[in-house]
Amino acid sequence: MQLRTDVQLKSMSKAMLDVVIPAIDPSNSLAVEQAQLVLGMLRLMQHQAPLQYQFDRDELARSVALMSKLHSLASQDASLATLRCQFQTQLNDANVALEGSRIDPAELCDTVRDCRYMIGAMVREAGQTAAPETTLRIEQAVLEYSKQQLLRDRALVVLQGWEPEPDAVPSIESLLASSAQI
């Protein structure tokens, strides 16, 4: 039995291409279309699988950088003091996870999810209680982060074929390499 995902995906793609698709009645256009869709998704997963951990670590590194900036901005506004303590705890946990050389991929995903939650909590709290100038700076920091994350998300799935100009989207490898220093 093969446990490596990359080999499993390659084997499934080959089986779809060499055995399943040729066995489908060509007049059954829906079955042909769905088989091609499955084959395309298997190939996409084969491309993405080796990059997923690096992709998640990149997001965590940039989340930590954003959280540090938001924490600094929030420290200038007394109305955010209570959340700032919880935020600092999550920021500390995220830094430990980021620095861990042998972090489990599931722990990495959980930490990224927890960072997303705390970033959302800071934005909600700032929107309700912070001074307008603090809220604006937090909004700008989050929008810049979101712009970078969306580009990475698009690059990771560009092979699905949804981009009108796929060549205009940088490769996920180049985006991850450019932020490897974070």
Both 46 and 130 in one domain: the answer is no
Structural domain that includes position 134? 51-178
Shared-domain flag, residues 134 and 45: no
Rg (CA), the chain: 21
Domain-ending residue, one of 34, 50, 66: 50
Please indicate, yes or no, whether residues 87 and 116 belong to a single structural domain of this protein. yes
Q: 3-class DSSP state for residue 180?
A: coil
Could you tell me if 120 and 164 lie in one domain?
yes
Residues 166, 85, single domain; the answer is yes
Report how many domains make up the chain.
2
- Whether the CB-CB separation of 60 and 180 falls below 8 Å is answered with no
Q: Does 32 share its domain with 77?
A: no
The answer to whether residues 149 and 101 belong to one domain is yes
List per-residue pLDDT tens for the chain, 182 residues long: 455 778 889 999 999 999 999 999 999 999 999 999 999 999 999 988 878 888 888 999 999 999 999 999 999 999 999 999 999 999 999 999 888 856 778 788 889 999 999 999 999 999 999 999 999 999 999 999 999 999 999 998 888 888 999 999 999 999 999 876 65
168 exposed, middle or buried (CB, 10 Å; 0-12, 13-18, 19+)?
A: exposed
- Angstrom CA distances, 123 to 91, 111, 127, 138, 155, stand at 15, 18, 6, 7, 26
